[in-house]
Structure 1
Amino acid sequence: MFKRTLIAASLTVAALASAQAMAVTGGGATLPAALYKGSSDSILPANFSYAAIGSGGGKTAFLTNNPAGFSTTGTVHFAGSDSILSASELSTYKATYGASFGPLIQLPSVATSVAIPYKKAGQTALNLTSAQLCDAFSGAKTTWGDLLGTADTTPIRVVYRNVSSGTSEILSRHLNSVCPTQFATNSTFTNARLPAGSALPSNWVGVANTSDVATTVNAVDGSIGYVGPDGVDATSNAVVARVNGVQPTSLNVTLALSSVTPPSSAVDAADPSKWSPVVANPTSGYKLAAYTNFIFGQCYKDAAVAADVKAFLTQHYSNPGNNTATQAHKFVAVPNAWKTAVTANFITNTSGNNLDINNASVCNAIGRPL
């Protein structure tokens, strides 16, 4: 009897320890998933979970506080998303949960490219214009000869994301800026391609995860797709196309986003949309560049969760912070000016804007539930 009791007690302690070990629940975008969790140099703390289900699923889970998409229960504490929060999502969240949960926070996590992997026999230095990308991904051109002005009859086989994906949103945002009659900006590829919901060519292939894109492209000659930099060697023109003559290197991503600066006024600092800058068609650098984002609550009823969130933000937005891991996964760290602004507003409150995690004057008796 004593032995059975001891075993039961040990199992209870182990279960409690396991629950405590994953105290902060999140998930979302697959593009930065390996940077966030699961690799030897991942940046999320040990007690943070991260379910890589896509940006759309991550946003939905956070905005409705429904962890079912993460295959767990309890509270959703944060999300990762390459897809920015829309005005409708922000207003609905404020109306539904603002009084009980408090404000939400959207922050740029790392800068990323969307690379264009391809496999075409005899082609090792593919260079496509933005207009050619429009023609390939819309299906306006169906063979490589049509696309490149040659006699090549090889069909173009597009590998696309078949879930709500921030990677699709970044791609379609640029294409919409160049060819608005062919593409809208949307996180769902089949809705971004116009007319929305129209039938796709039979040889096109949809995949759910970033990690499946490059391998699916490489499986069949004539294929082309789009993927984050952690899923392919974005520096090699033999496997990734240049766009308008530019390779998706870290330097070119930095150049593309150099025109945007962090919010400076109190009004802008309090607006989550101002913390996710959009550059649909950069004047310099690589055209398909953007920030992938974190979404947190400002207020948490669990003080331990609030402390863990603030500790992670402190580390990530310090200098050098997580720069080494960020670069190892082929992303680009946010500029120091952005790190300083995030720290002043959301961690230390030296800005005086009262936006910091669990600010006493804002979060008194409210917050994301226990």
Structure 2
Amino acid sequence: MKKIFKKCKALSFLVLPLLFGSASTALAQTVNGTGSTFPLLLYQDMITNDPIVGSWSYGPALGGSEHAAFLTGSTVSFSGSETALTSADLATYSQSGTWGPLIQVPAIATSVVLPYKEVGITTLNLTTAEVCRIFSFSPASRTWNQITTAADDGGVGSTNRIQIVYRSEPTDSGATYLLSRFLNAACGPFLPAGKFFTVSNVFKTMVATALPTTLPAQEDQNFDGFPDAWVGVNGDAGMSGAVAGNQMHRLGYISPDPLYTGVTNNHVARIDGLLPTIVGTWLSLPSPPSGAARQSPFNWVPAYSIPINYYPIWGTTNLLFSQCYAGGFGPGTKGAAIKDFLTKLMVVGAYSRTIFDHNFVLMFTPWRTAIKEAFLEGSDGNGLAFGNPADCNGIPGRP
């Protein structure tokens, strides 16, 4: 027995370093993400606190499109954006023969809420028409007494000008993009003939064709000639600070934020009497693609439509991956870490609590099932799964 024990002990000294070596290899995998700031705090919280394979980072895209670094650079492992991949984006991706095809999936569902602050108003309820007129700075919605009534808003008849707080970044803003989809789809009947909102992630582009007059010269961040009518801020933190601070008369728009949970009407406006709910967001989503339609990455971002009887400003934050990664998808590889991350996003449990705590919404079951079938299991016959041999054998894969 002693001899057997000694042999086992000796073997343990050989085996344990191998085991720890494997674990260390997995932990050593560096997975770099970049893109939208919309889910930034959520992803960083996942990376810090949740069980995630590998060494991860996620930071804001620095200049240009949120997709650009992923499509054209070799140091980015994945990217996040609310803006769907376009054919023009795809045209910049010249590495399919080296890194493999692209995978685009909706990661998490969300709402954009309208935070406000005005003296005496704690239950603000806006109609769709009023929202349209506010963001087009219509003469009928330029002061608070034009949109508030004592009956449902606690309105005090304030003649103060509404100050619209907007995201002033010259490039991508996910919150602006999701707001623009709603305004573009809903506001046609409420604007003068020939006026409309453009779907865009840049605020000035979004409103330019909806404003009642031609834009005059810039004046103190205001681009309509009225002092303090427009207040430009940078990032979600800038928006939160501008509306939550001591300044009154303000209304803005923001992605999920600790101060603005979407269920506190004294902080955020109802639209047609509605605030966001998890079920409402789920039921606003269209059906996921099926059959051969799954083969196009453009079909994987849910198209916007105005929901009936649910809060209307909704969308998804999406992820871009490669189908092939250097080293494959075996234990300890970057590919395995990427696949593990998406797998945990698509099940109830692993990240659910963190998603809920950040006021985002887990994707609805049909979408999670479709993503698992297509990209994680490859069980739908479309050949889209991570590491699919027909696409990945014989090429290096994304570094």
Structure 1 length-normalised TM: 0.84
SS state at 2:30 partner: coil
1:153 to 159, 165, 169: 159
C-alpha distance in structure 2 between counterparts of 1:225 and 1:173, whole Å: 16
Contact 2:106 2:318 in 1 (8 A): yes
SS state at 2:55 partner: coil
Is structure 2 residue 99 aligned with structure 1 residue 135?
no
CA deviations over 1:325-369 (Å, ceiling 9, x no partner): 111211111122222211111112122221111212101233554
CA deviations over 1:282-310 (Å, ceiling 9, x no partner): 12311001111111111222432212111
1:228 to 255, 259, 263: 255
Contact 2:78 2:319 in 1 (8 A): yes
C-alpha distance in structure 1 between counterparts of 2:349 and 2:55, whole Å: 22
Contact 1:36 1:43 in 2 (8 A): no
Aligned partner of 1:10 in structure 2 is none
Structure 1 residues 44-83: aligned runs within 5 Å = 45=53, 47-53=55-61, 57-65=65-73, 74-83=74-83
C-alpha distance in structure 2 between counterparts of 1:93 and 1:364, whole Å: 23
Aligned partner of 2:314 in structure 1 is 289
Contact 2:61 2:69 in 1 (8 A): no
Aligned partner of 2:114 in structure 1 is 116
Contact 2:165 2:242 in 1 (8 A): yes
Aligned partner of 1:356 in structure 2 is 385
What percent of counterpart residues are identical? 34
CA deviations over 1:206-229 (Å, ceiling 9, x no partner): 222112212211221011111112
Structure 1 residues 1-370: aligned runs within 5 Å = 21=28, 23-38=30-45, 41=49, 45=53, 47-53=55-61, 57-65=65-73, 74-90=74-90, 92-93=91-92, 96-140=94-138, 141-148=141-148, 151-163=157-169, 164-180=172-188, 181-195=195-209, 198=215, 200-201=223-224, 202-203=227-228, 204-219=230-245, 220-231=247-258, 232-257=260-285, 260-265=286-291, 267-303=292-328, 304-366=333-395, 368-370=397-399
What is the letter of the counterpart of residue 116 of structure 1? L
C-alpha distance in structure 1 between counterparts of 2:63 and 2:120, whole Å: 36
Relative to structure 1, is the Cα distance of residues 333 and 55 closer, same or farther in structure 2, using a 3 angstrom cutoff?
farther
Contact 2:106 2:301 in 1 (8 A): yes
Contact 1:30 1:55 in 2 (8 A): no
What is the letter of the counterpart of residue 192 of structure 1? M
1:187 Cα deviation from its structure 2 partner: 0.8
1:165 Cα deviation from its structure 2 partner: 1.0
1:280 Cα deviation from its structure 2 partner: 3.2
CA deviations over 1:225-246 (Å, ceiling 9, x no partner): 1111234231100000001110
What is the letter of the counterpart of residue 225 of structure 1? G
SS state at 2:57 partner: coil
What is the count of residue pairs matched by the alignment? 341
Structure 2 length-normalised TM: 0.78
1:146 Cα deviation from its structure 2 partner: 3.3
**What is the root-mean-square deviation of aligned Cα atoms in Å?**
2.6
Contact 1:106 1:293 in 2 (8 A): yes
C-alpha distance in structure 1 between counterparts of 2:281 and 2:382, whole Å: 31
Gaps of 5+ in 1: 1-16, 66-73
C-alpha distance in structure 2 between counterparts of 1:230 and 1:43, whole Å: 23
